[in-house]
A and B are shown apart, each in its own frame.
Chain A
Amino acid sequence: METPMMYYIVISLVMFFAGVYGFMTRKNMLMMLISIELMLNAVDINFAVFNRFLFPGQMEGMIFSIFAIAIAAAETAIAIAIIINIYRHIRNIDADNLDDMKY
């Protein structure tokens, strides 16, 4: 018997809000980056699942998740480069210390 669609969606929901929670509470920027990845993966799951259950004969959702994964990888590379640069300037990667450019 096939696993119902609801299960997948619940998993994805939990992952997404875990990501949101982590993004808002963790001060370390690497942890924030990991939270963003979590949110992105939750969305990828949604794409795949909806495609699988609602439009079985088509491929758009799958293709989209592959795109999203590729873009997430590129984004992570950039984010890590930024974080390393920030570290070189202020010798830590705490998001609360990054308010030099406010107003």
Chain B
Amino acid sequence: MEYTIFILLLPLAMFLLLGLLDTKLKPRVAGILGTLGMTVCTALAYYTAYLFFTQSRVDGVYPSHTPVNYEWLRFTEHLHIDLGIYLDPISVMMLVVITTVSLMVHIYSLGYMHGEKGFQRYYAFLSLFSMSMLGLVVATNIFQMYIFWELVGVSSYLLIGFYYTKPAAIAASKKAFIVTRFADLGFLIGILILSFFTKTFDFATLTANPSAIITESAGMTFMGCSVASWALALIFMGGAGKSAMFPLHIWLPDAMEGPTPVSALIHAATMVVAGVYLVARLFPVYCVTPEVLDLITTVGAITALYAAIVACVQTDIKRVLAFSTISQIAFMIVALGVASDTDLHAGLGYMASMFHLFTHAMFKALLFLGAGAIIHAVHSNEMSEMGGLRKYMPITHITFLIACLAIAGIPPFSGFFSKDEILTAVMHKSTFWGIWMTIVAGLTAFYMFRLYFRIFWWKETDCSHHTPHEAPLTMTLPLIFLAVVTCVAGFIPFGELVSVNGQPYHIHLDMSVATTSIIVAVCAILLATWMYLKENNKPGNIEKATSVLHRAAYRRFYIDEIYLFITHKIIFNLICRPIAWFDRHIIDGTMDMFANVTQCVSARIKGLQSGSVQGYVWLILIGSLLVATITICCCL
């Protein structure tokens, strides 16, 4: 399976080709080249998945492979950084997800970005992102993952700031980069602690002997928690930053300033699930520290509820989808938090999380691409500009509806199956979190159908000046493909392929959980229908009745303001200003003093350098006579 290296090299070559030639290529040629590269890459990924999942099981487990491994840096006898490709069920699953969504986005962008300035640059960055993300999932060791982790951060930064003449886009790209970078600081410290004690970066070694960190660091504690807990919690901090978990979620809604296909690829389907993937990758290690898993559950559950509430009142359709993404990723995180690796049933959450990751990537990419088609047609992100679009954009309407039904958890669409597994796993662990997550699932159905009705029903648009029209074929084709995947993905025997210990797990629906979640979802959808089907005053009245709460939710519970307060008022004023003063006056002052003293002295003695040769000869003569006299006197 050595050919898998081309899955990485191909997008890299495309990035270099498109990036270096840039405007020398015609936009059309660049777009088609990038798409072709991605098509081959997708075919390779599918072929890999086919080979991997058709190989015979060893002890009931698909054996994992390391087709490529190259030792890059050796520090000590045990500690070295490798670059390689590691294939196991979850990395192969991620390869399929990433290449599929990336290919769809490549095709879609041919229509969506048509005529944009910097079209070639856009495709170059898409290729760079695909390469980094694929490198992240196939990493053989945690440090390689960290390298590609930063690379996806950079490509996300570049793509959010694609419209670099727009101040909001620049601010958003900076915010995304700084917030995730801050979280990555924790990730790096976590990696260093973990590898210091276990003496390895390798995932295979780490997960084969997960309790090494406990035994190696036995008895060492810091602030009441063991070293193992600290290391894993810090690594999770990196994951939380990338996956936009509360309170590090603030960058994701702003990241919607980028082009919509980019939001679909990076900020919905692939990069933001890197945190989930990280926890899943190190899951056996996380299992030895249950307190960290509890922390993960709590963070995920709070994020899920918070994001769902905020999504209910946003008016920018991309913002609604952004908060819905945060909420859905939190579902995956919670599922991982409640799982354990003791047996298949306790590990249900792990399987459910990966399953939801898979289905969510498909239907959320579909939602974003649909939103892109709508924005393309009405030239606005605001709900108030939309309404009654179902007649003008039938394909977008149907595919969007399918995605909404999937995310709301209505059978037989894919979201129902994965979400049901998550709810079952959570309910199995703790009834409190189970009820909590069921409420969030209801909210999900409500805000998605609020979005759907506001876009496609609500009022009849006034078409006198501008008729919205259906998107071109390059844009509708990916929509149709993803809609088909969304319809059938739920029937994939996912548990057979991916489970906590690799043994096949037969997915069966827990009827009580499934019935409850369907009833909750249907009620929420009916409520949304009642409120938003036709233009009326009900939403406005509710808004007035709960004005304080509504405003707080609309402003995202002032989390951004709190961040601004902490950074500007506290950190800048109390820490940065004194340090700046110290730098300017003490450190610069010392240097200035040296310079000034040198200058004064040289101004005084520069007269000696008169330029008259004979003056110098006099001085030499007098000097040598003096030396001679002194020498003679001493000798006598």
Contacts and interface: CB of A to CB of B under 8 A. Distances in A.
Interface in B593-636: 606-607, 609-614, 617-618, 621
A99 B618 contact: no
Nearest to A29: B613
A20 B617 CA distance: 9
Contacts of B606: 103
A13 B613 CA distance: 23
Contact of A99 (B607, B611, B617, B621): B611
Interface string B141-176: 000000000000000000000000000000000000
Nearest to A99: B611
B612 A96 contact: yes
**Contact residues of B: prevailing secondary structure:** helix
A2 interface: no
Interface string A74-99: 00000000000000000000011011
Interface residues of A, number: 13
A7 B51 CA distance: 107
B614 A102 contact: no
A20 B607 CA distance: 24
Nearest to B613: A95
Contacts of A20: 617, 621
Contacts of B617: 20, 23-24
A101 B611 contact: yes
Q: How large is the interface on B (under 10, 10 to 19, 20 to 34, 35 or more residues)?
A: 10 to 19
A95 B612 CA distance: 7
Contacts, number: 29
Nearest to A27: B614
A25 B609 CA distance: 19
Contacts of A25: 614
A31 to B, nearest CB: 12
Most chain A beta carbons < 10 A, residue from B610, B613, B617, B618: B613
B614 A95 contact: yes
A102 B611 contact: yes
Contacts of A99: 610-612
Nearest to B607: A103
B612 A24 contact: no
Contacts of B618: 24
B524 to A, nearest CB: 86
B621 A100 contact: no
Interface string A18-56: 001001110000001000000000000000000000000
Contact of B611 (A23, A24, A32, A100): A100
A23 B614 CA distance: 7
A27 to B, nearest CB: 8
A96 B616 CA distance: 12
A25 B618 CA distance: 10
Contacts of B612: 95-96, 98-99
A95 B610 CA distance: 12
Contacts of A102: 609-611
Nearest to B615: A24
Contacts of A103: 606-607, 609, 611
A5 B607 CA distance: 45
Nearest to A103: B606
A15 to B, nearest CB: 16
Contacts of A32: 613
A24 B614 contact: yes
Nearest to B602: A103
Contacts of B614: 23-25, 95
A32 B612 CA distance: 13
A95 to B, nearest CB: 5
Contacts of B610: 99, 102
A87 B244 CA distance: 78
Nearest to A26: B614
A25 B614 CA distance: 8
Contacts of B611: 98-103
A100 B610 CA distance: 10
A82 to B, nearest CB: 12
Interface string B175-216: 000000000000000000000000000000000000000000
A25 B617 CA distance: 10
A98 B607 CA distance: 16
B317 to A, nearest CB: 73
A98 B610 CA distance: 10
Nearest to B609: A103
- Select the residue from B609, B611, B618 with max chain A CB neighbours within 10 A: B611
A100 B617 CA distance: 18
Contacts of B621: 20, 24
B125 to A, nearest CB: 56
B454 to A, nearest CB: 80
B557 to A, nearest CB: 69
A76 B589 CA distance: 51
A84 to B, nearest CB: 17
A35 B159 CA distance: 77
A93 to B, nearest CB: 12
Which of A32, A98, A100, A102 is most buried by chain B, counting CB atoms within 10 A of its CB? A102
Q: When A and B form their complex, which 9 residue pairs have the shortest distance between CB atoms, in order from nearest?
A: A102-B611, A99-B611, A103-B606, A103-B609, A95-B613, A24-B614, A24-B617, A102-B609, A102-B610
10 contacts: A23-B617, A24-B618, A32-B613, A96-B612, A98-B611, A98-B613, A99-B611, A103-B606, A103-B607, A103-B609
Interface of B: 606-607, 609-614, 617-618, 621
Given A23-B614, A98-B612, 13 more contacts: A20-B621, A23-B617, A24-B621, A95-B612, A95-B614, A96-B612, A99-B610, A99-B611, A101-B611, A102-B610, A102-B611, A103-B606, A103-B607
Interface of A: 20, 23-25, 32, 95-96, 98-103
